[in-house]
Amino acid sequence: MKTYQVVLTKSYLVTVRAKTKEQARRVCEFYTNNDIQDISTIENRKKEKFLIENIECTINDTFDCYEIEAI
């Protein structure tokens, strides 16, 4: 098999309840991981008063693909 590096872009629409726009942006950045899952705990949500309701993938596209030499 050959080895490839693929340029992949993913974009998500996150629905969140929060007190302010700034808080909504911060909790989306802080409480999501590389797998784009809500990683907040019940304690986080109670303490900071927010709720991530939904995470939906809106873009999932490859833009380029390069064959690389296997190590």
Tell me the DSSP string of 9-42: EEEEEEEEE-SSHHHHHHHHHHSB-TT--B---H
What per-residue confidence (pLDDT) applies to 49? 96
pLDDT digits (tens, 9 = 90+) for 4-59: 999 999 999 999 999 999 999 999 999 999 888 999 999 999 999 999 999 999 99
Q: Which two tokens mark 21? A: 């726009």
Q: Please give the model's pTM, rounded to 2 decimal places.
A: 0.78
